[in-house]
Amino acid sequence: MLSRKTIGFLLKIGIVAFALFFLYEQLTSKSSVEQFNSDAILQQIKQHYGVLAVIILMMFLNWFLEALKWRFLISKIEQISIKRSIRAIFSGITVSAFTPNRVGEYGGRVFCLEKADRIQGVIITVIGSMAQLVITIFFGCIGLLFLPKYSSEFYYTVNSIEFGYPILIFLLVLLNVLIVFLFLNAYLFSAILSKIKFLSKYEKYNEVFSFYNTDELAKVLWYSVARYAVFTTQFFILLQLFDINIAYADAIVLIMIMLFVVSITPTIAITEIGIRGSVAIFLFGLLSTNTTGIFAATFVMWIINLLLPALIGTVFIFTLKFFRK
């Protein structure tokens, strides 16, 4: 019978193998290969390697902010160093590479915890992800308010309904107020879950939502805003790099909508880059005919922000502890 140590090692090998396989499949998938010219991308990058270096540094800043956020959240159940938090973040990215909507990231991180309850750790990680989703929806809704300016079809659809635009504003404002309120008052979920009969016996996990007060959750949202600012800026720089000449204000609005749509679209790893590219081409195609450049910017963004961190994470996978003594 295999020992725990051997099983753990085989699991790590399997995770790395699956991650590399799915990343390779995305790189070489039909939806990727057909929509970009690798030679043209490489030529453009060679001419602006300094800009590319800045974008890569911004990637590290992005995930460093996520590591700070997760370390802050997880401190309720275990104190960890920033080094271990960074290791957990990159490990989670690797595991998420082959899971639907990157849900593997939740489990991938908690195996860096030494003593804390791992299920509580998963729930806490979900809270951190929800903070990022709240910010993405918040700014995405703001972007949608400006979409009629760029899309005549959307403009006529909204205005075909009596008081269409005011109703749209009201619904989006209501949605934002609701999701921000619920997140900042997460303790309400603990109270609700404890009243559900078959969940009441899991008090240890239900109470996780009550670990944080409003000020602490507001701090988590600010970490998420900082991350959002980093990757929206990254994408704008890449658009300029690939000759998508769109004004900053217009680009940011469309980026906010793109991130919103991508975040609420169910995906599996193998189709992710194709979906990202299709959404970007549709939105930025409203202002630019350079579809090759739009897809190139999306593709390079995916490589820098997800593929590269996932490759880094393969090293940290071997530091995870699946079994405790």
- Per-residue pLDDT tens for 166-196? 777 788 889 889 999 999 998 888 878 777 7
pTM attached to this predicted model = 0.89
Mean pLDDT score of the chain, rounded to an integer? 84
- Per-residue pLDDT tens for 203-216? 788 888 889 999 99
pLDDT at residue 319, rounded to an integer: 82
Per-domain residue ranges of the chain: 4-154+221-317
Give the C-alpha distances (Å, rounded to integers) separating 285 from 14, 38, 200, 244, 289.
Answer: 40, 21, 51, 10, 6
Is the confidence at residue 262, as pLDDT, over 60?
yes
pLDDT more than 90, % of the chain: 35
- Environment class of residue 71 by beta-carbon count within 10 Å: exposed (0-12), middle (13-18) or buried (19+)? buried
Q: Are 262 and 279 in contact (CB under 8 A)?
A: yes
Is the confidence at residue 6, as pLDDT, over 90?
no
Is the confidence at residue 67, as pLDDT, over 90?
yes
